[in-house]
Amino acid sequence: MIRTDALTKDFVVSRTRTVHAVRGISLDVAPGELVAVLGPNGAGKTTTLRMLTTLTRPTSGSATVAGYDVVTHPDRVRAAIGYVGQGGAGGASQVVRDELRTQGEIYGLDRRTARRRADELLEALDLTEQADRKVDSLSGGQRRRLDVAVGLVHEPSLLFLDEPSTGLDPHNRANLWEHVLRMRTAAADPMTIVLTTHYLDEADTFAERVIVVDHGQVIADDTADALKADLAGDLVTLRVAAGDAAALAALAERAPGTRSVRVGAPEADGGRPVEIRTADGPGATPGLLRAADAAGLAVTRVDVARPTLDDVFLGLTGRSLRETGVQGGDEPPGEPTTDLSGTTTKEVLA
């Protein structure tokens, strides 16, 4: 459905300054996939989407979307795709129903089909009650649903959503997703969806595949689960008396599956956490406890946490996505985001 080869985009901002927004992105998206493009501010997500939707011409490389080259056949590409940008579609003073019908006609639907399609979309996106209101009177969530309806009016097989839920509260975000997913599966052939998002949980929960972009390049591309297992790993935290922490850390470093070990700061009750990043936390914990017991180290508390996509990004770049303005969204609070990669017990204890 999408294939890009070494796609780049440079913006010449002055005689002496060029922004290399996209630096050679090669991608393959199969029909029916739901792919999230995740990355910090300025990573090149929107620029990539704008090239794929023919709104910006690539500097070099090539991209084929729905079977057509974005440079040589932009009209064909546009006819085959829906695009919901960040700015919001639609004329503010238009009536909602008219807006959808007009957009349908712009896409070449005859009047009757445009009317039918507008009514179907109003129903599917829960906007029938608002159909006779002006676009600028809608709430943020309703407006975003209208944006999605406009993107779908010509029944595209591929939908691009650029930060679809930015600015929506958690309730409206959930509601928007419910509608998008319902529309996707209602189609005879599941729609291909490519979205950019600032919400880690959104990428984690809804996307079948996550493409992590940083500095205009793809730095990881897989399912969220595979990325977390391969690039971050689970975090097992064992608490022991402060004096036992170094011995437990040394023992944990030798345990099968351990990737890295870090000793946390001493706690008020005299205990100290030993944080073990390991491929399979629940599987590794019994062995760690047995080894601690055999060495005479009394473990007072055990926590096992699954990694987040932020841990993946941290492991890849040494930076947290959250520090760059990306939202953790509804992730449970307190999930560890400590970077353990590259930290050895010796370094921590030194």
**Contact positions toward ligand ATP, by CB under 6 A?**
11, 13, 19, 21, 39, 41-47
Comparison of 195 and 245: residue with beta carbon closer to ligand ATP: 195
Tokens of 332: 């449970």
Shortest Å, Cβ 46 to ligand ATP: 3
**Contact of 198 with 163, CB cutoff 8 Å:** yes
Beta carbons within 10 angstroms of residue 293's beta carbon: 11
User: Tell me, what amino acid is at 48?
Assistant: T
Shortest Å, Cβ 68 to ligand ATP: 22
Shortest Å, Cβ 212 to ligand ATP: 11
Q: Write phi, then psi, for 148 (nearest 5 degrees).
A: -65, -40
Residue 102: which region, alpha, beta or left (left: phi > 0; alpha: psi -120 to 50)? alpha
Q: In what order do the strands lie in the sheet with 18-29?
A: 18-29, 2-12, 60-65, 68-69
Shortest Å, Cβ 41 to ligand ATP: 4
Shortest Å, Cβ 40 to ligand ATP: 7
Comparison of 41 and 223: residue with beta carbon closer to ligand ATP: 41
**Contact of 148 with 156, CB cutoff 8 Å:** no
Comparison of 197 and 260: residue with beta carbon closer to ligand ATP: 197
Comparison of 47 and 54: residue with beta carbon closer to ligand ATP: 47
Tokens of 170: 């958690």
